[in-house]
A and B are shown apart, each in its own frame.
Chain A
Amino acid sequence: MTEDDIQQIFFVECEEALEATETGLAACREGTHDGETINAIFRAVHSIKGGAGAFGHTALAAYTHGFENLLGEIREGKVPLEPVLVDLLLLALDCLRDHVEAARGRGNPPDDADLLARLEAAQAGGSGLAAEVAAPAPPPAPASAFDDLDSLLDELSAPAPAPAPPAPESWLVHIRPHAGAMTKGSEPLLWLRELTDLGGTCELCDISAVPTFERLAVEEGYLGWTFRMPGDVARESVAEIFDFVGDEVALAYEPDAMPPPRVAAPVPAAAARAISATTDVSQPAAASVDPAASAAAPPPVAAATAAPPPAGGAATQSVRIDLKKLDMLIDGVGELVIAQAMLAQRLTNENLAHIEELALIDGLVRDIQEHAMAFRAQPISSVFGRVPRLLRELGTSTGKHVKLEVAGETTELDKTVIERLSEPMTHLIRNAVDHGIEPPEERRAAGKDPEGTLTLSAEQKAGRIIIRIADDGRGIDRERVLAKAIANGLVAPEAQLTDDDINQLIFAPGFSTAATVSNISGRGVGMDVVKQNVKELGGRITIESVPGKGTTFALALPLTLAISDGMIVQVGDQSLVIPLTHVIESLRPTPADVKGMGTRAQMLNARGTFVPIVPLGVMTGANDAVCNPCEGVLVLVETEGHGRAALLVDAIADQRQFVIKALDAHYRQIDSVAGATILGNGKVALIVDVDFIASSAARNHTAVPLAAAA
């Protein structure tokens, strides 16, 4: 594993730490936090700092140091956690995110001088927090981030409120890196640099252990250092530098008088002893002069033995796997499902369909498939987690402060879907705040809470993931949207459109760009892109909008893009697959259940509700398909948004898993066909797009009152 690989892991951990911080601060904002929340935030920031130091990201390390100082004070209860402070911490988090991005080589480090000054002011001023007013002017053009830290440290160590107490005694730390300290991507010299940055100076380097050249082993660690640290630097600050190093370095603090092993040469040892002796004398003296100073210094024994705070948090074990390998596994599982279907078919031909072994394989294949899919599943919180920052930024640019409510963030989705979801989500949220939610004055006038609310929710429903983005804004002004669409020539002036049709107009390409977005109350920018993105994911987007109350965008996305359960039906000479997630029941109706409507259409009376019957034979053009519902089988299906339909088929052949192969990749996209699959007999079967069929069936029938059919 190269240093780069390790660094990549660090960045992944940074992401996790940033998420954890965001979650923690959100809890603080809602007032649902406890001591552990603050601890978790502290640990997260601290772990970024540790890694940043180890990899030499000085700007990031310096910034996290300032951030962490304040968190430390909050953790110890010295600074009360007030709402205004939480806001400052959220700002600091955003800046931290930018720093991490900069460390990854994506952009320049942000200018953090002002923010660091505010963090420091918050730390010093406690609850006063007049930081915004009293924030010291940023230091004039710092040469490097470490200058910031230095000045920060200088200010920290400077006597602030009370008359200057005598400076505490400096102290010594001995460091001896072992062999492993140089092998795992870390570099002892970086630690020494951090010690220097804390104000330490190297007293001596112990080279007594270095052998002659022929006996030298490059991997071994032979050097040891003694650093003198200023008295106002806490021992914890030094210990933190080595948090990530574990056992790879021996540390000892004077006056513990226990230098690390192998400091054997007479001169350095004597020097260390001499120093030790002088401080031993001066220590009680200092204590007698100023008890506060020595009380502030941590008790040496506790500091030396206290374990550093755990860096990771929860102890879930995980392995990082190259995504390509994972996808190969998933592809393999797909082929396995097909092979298993073929085997089942062959055995059926030999009258062996019901042997125990086949059922066993069936179960195992299903298990493997589910587990393989679970590898790719990720909670949607990774997408939702970015929203608070987006809202903060939008709040700054639009002046609209929006509360965020989130539900179902643990819902899991396929990684591919998650990755491609963030762009359309960002677009929709931007639109909701920009155009949906009114400015505070307007909201007050309408009797609403001046602060708008954005609700994000995710749930699994009918084999799909439904993500809702709802605002409580002014809703879509359909009249104006329609007028604009007619003016743009998108709709004929005499067209009769339903509310839903008008809502859908905002997705029309060109609609948004032609509209003057600022004075149209509907939404506008780039909505066609959103629809396209969602469609590419195999999903659908619907709008519910109530004028004055708000708008909800519902995204229905497939759980996975690869394997699904389906009912294999026979229609004439064709085999078709109906995704099982849509199927409610199947039945053979009696003549009394079926009512004719118009000249060709038929309705099924399904326990009191009339459902349009869709003869799949007619749609597919299959030969010899059953036309009379009473001779075939009706499969009752339900869809998201288009109600129910009864699909007329000849017979149900089987129910099994199928591997979805995209049709447009091999042929072209066809309405009413969601894809294709390979059956056990090696033939290709088309997968019915139930949503499309139900919506077209609904369109043909809803205009006729149901009473007419009865």
Chain B
Amino acid sequence: MIALPPICDRSAASALYPEIAEALGPSPLALDASKVERIGQAMLQLLVSASRTEGGIAIHQPSATFTAALALTRLDHVVMEEVAA
């Protein structure tokens, strides 16, 4: 499982990109979003892209901020199609 950092800004997205690229495979990649306190467009579109690549992603334990950001941007159905408990 890859954990998203508390501040998911552009530099966090850049830092996380190679790790996710490496880990994406045929089965959904588990991402822990419990620590997210702030999230920006860069990270969101990274998640959108990841969710549409190979097996996609599965978000675990999304924080309130994370869920709110997805609701605000109407990306909830795209990114959190497979929300794990």
Residues of A whose CB lies within 8 Å of any CB of B are: 177, 181-183, 187-189, 192-193, 196, 202-205, 207, 210-214, 216, 218-219, 221-223, 225
A192 and B17 within 8 A (CB):
no
Is A202's CB under 8 angstroms from B73's CB? Answer: yes
> Can you show 13 pairs from A to B with CB atoms below 8 A apart?
A188-B40, A202-B73, A205-B78, A213-B20, A213-B50, A213-B53, A219-B14, A219-B42, A221-B45, A222-B49, A223-B41, A223-B45, A225-B73
Q: Scan residues 28-85 of chain B and give those whose CB is less than 8 A from a CB of chain A.
A: 39-42, 44-46, 48-50, 52-54, 69, 72-75, 78
Q: Is the CB of B10 within 8 A of A182?
A: yes
B21 within 8 A of A: yes
- Contact, CB under 8 Å: A188 / B49: no
Closest residue of chain B to A204 (Cβ to Cβ) is B74
Question: Of A181, A183, A212, A223, which is within 8 A of B52 by CB?
Answer: A212
Q: Nearest Cβ in chain B — how far from A146, in angstroms?
A: 13
Is B17 within 8 A of A205, CB to CB? no
Which secondary structure dominates chain A's binding surface?
mixed
Query: Is B72 a contact partner of A222 (Cβ separation < 8 A)?
Result: no
Distance (whole angstroms) from the CB of A688 to the closest CB of chain B: 60
Residues of chain B within 8 A (CB-CB) of A222 are 45, 48-49
Interface of B is mostly: helix
A311: shortest Cβ distance to chain B, in Å?
23
Instruction: Check if B75 sits within 8 Å of A187, measured CB to CB.
Output: no
Does B13 lie at the interface of the complex (its beta carbon under 8 Å from any beta carbon of A)?
yes
Which one of B49, B50, B54, B73 contacts A189 once the chains associate, using CB atoms below 8 Å?
B73
A213→B74 CA distance, assembly (Å): 20
Q: What is the CB-to-nearest-CB distance from A197 to chain B, in angstroms, rounded to a whole number?
A: 11
Look across to chain A and name the residue whose beta carbon is closest to the beta carbon of B75: A205
Residue ID in chain B nearest A211 by CB atoms: B49
Q: Indicate if the CB atoms of A187 and B41 lie closer than 8 Å.
A: yes
Q: How far, in angstroms, from A222 to B42 measured CA to CA in the complex?
A: 9
Q: In the bound complex, how far is the Cα of B75 from the Cα of A207, in angstroms? A: 9
Residues of A within 8 A of B54 (CB): 213
Query: Which chain B residues border A218 with CB–CB below 8 Å?
Result: 10, 13-14, 17, 42, 46
Q: How far is the CB of B52 from chain A (nearest CB, A)?
A: 6
Q: Please give 9 more A-B residue pairs, beta carbons under 8 A apart, in addition to A188-B40, A225-B74.
A: A182-B41, A189-B41, A189-B44, A189-B73, A202-B72, A210-B52, A213-B24, A218-B10, A225-B73
- Beta-carbon nearest neighbor of B43 in chain A: A218
A214 touching B21 in the complex, CB below 8 Å, given contacts A187-B40, A221-B41, A222-B45: yes
A216 CB contact (under 8 Å) in B10, B17, B69, B72:
B17
Query: In the complex, which residue of chain A has the Cβ closest to the Cβ of B15?
Result: A218
Question: A177 to B40, alpha carbons, bound, how many Å?
Answer: 12
The chain A residue with its CB closest to the CB of B10 is: A182
Are A207 and B78 interface neighbours, CB within 8 A?
yes
- CB-CB under 8 A from A182, the residues of chain B are 10, 40-42
**A188 vs B42: C-alpha distance in the bound complex, in angstroms?**
9
Q: Which residues of A contact B17 (CB under 8 A)?
A: 216, 218
CA distance A177 to B17 in the complex (A): 20
List B contacts of A192 (CB < 8 A).
Answer: 72-73
Given A193-B72, A210-B52, A177 and B41 touching (CB < 8 A)?
Answer: yes
Residues from chain A with a CB closer than 8 A to the CB of B24 are: 213
**How many whole Å from A196's CB to the nearest CB in chain B?**
6
Report the bound CA distance from A239 to B48 in whole Å.
Answer: 28
* A contact residues around B40 at 8 Å (CB): 182, 187-189
